[in-house]
């Protein structure tokens, strides 16, 4: 039914992704398809890595760890952005086409006061609205 599952990851907050990662892996196993982890990063150092090149190394390592942990085929893609906070949603949308995914499994934050006030936008909601592939939002 599906050919590839894409999972957007924020390597700074992997602990919050656990459920989404597990869900994606189990789906991947049952359809026997690969999981592709996509992360968006800029040129400025962040907590994960001091440069985009080293970030890519970290992401590769993460993908291999996931493969070992769940026994699924994994790949990854690091997307460059000059302004991650703003471009995240659009870069992820582009990545769906680039990696050829037809299912996106992603974690969502728990809606709180900030959402009610429209202070922060939901990445998952944006993806659902603007992509034509299936999106599974894991809470």
51 near other proteins, rule: CB under 8 A? yes
Binder among 26, 45, 130, 139 for other proteins (CB under 8 A): 45
Q: How far is the CB of 66 from other proteins (least distance, A)?
A: 23
Please count the other Cβ atoms lying within 10 Å of the Cβ belonging to residue 81.
Answer: 16
**Pick from 15, 32, 53, 132: which binds other proteins (CB under 8 A)?**
53
Q: Which stretch binds other proteins (CB under 8 A): 23-31, 76-84, 97-105, 126-134?
A: 76-84
85 binds other proteins (CB under 8 A): yes
Query: What is the DSSP pairing of strand 35-41 with strand 74-80?
Result: parallel
- State the Cα–Cα distance between residues 138 and 126, nearest whole angstrom: 15
Distance CA 9, CA 36 (A): 10
CA distance linking residue 122 with residue 118, whole number of Å: 9
Q: Enumerate binding residues for other proteins (CB under 8 A).
A: 12, 42-47, 49-51, 53-54, 82-88, 112-114, 119-120
């Amino acid at each position: 039914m599906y050919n590839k599952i894409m999972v957007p990851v924020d390597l700074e907050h992997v602990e919050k992704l656990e459920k989404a990662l597990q869900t994606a892996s189990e789906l991947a196993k049952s359809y026997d398809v690969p999981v592709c982890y996509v992360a968006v990063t800029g040129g400025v150092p962040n907590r994960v890595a001091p440069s985009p090149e080293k970030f890519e190394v970290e992401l590769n390592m993460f993908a291999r760890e996931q493969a070992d942990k769940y026994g699924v085929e994994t790949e990854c893609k690091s997307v460059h952005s000059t302004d991650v906070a703003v471009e995240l949603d659009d870069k992820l949308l582009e990545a769906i086409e680039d990696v050829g995914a037809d299912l996106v499994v992603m974690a969502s934050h728990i809606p709180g006061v900030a959402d009610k006030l429209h202070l922060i936008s939901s990445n998952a909601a944006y993806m659902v609205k603007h992509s034509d592939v299936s999106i599974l939002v894991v809470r």
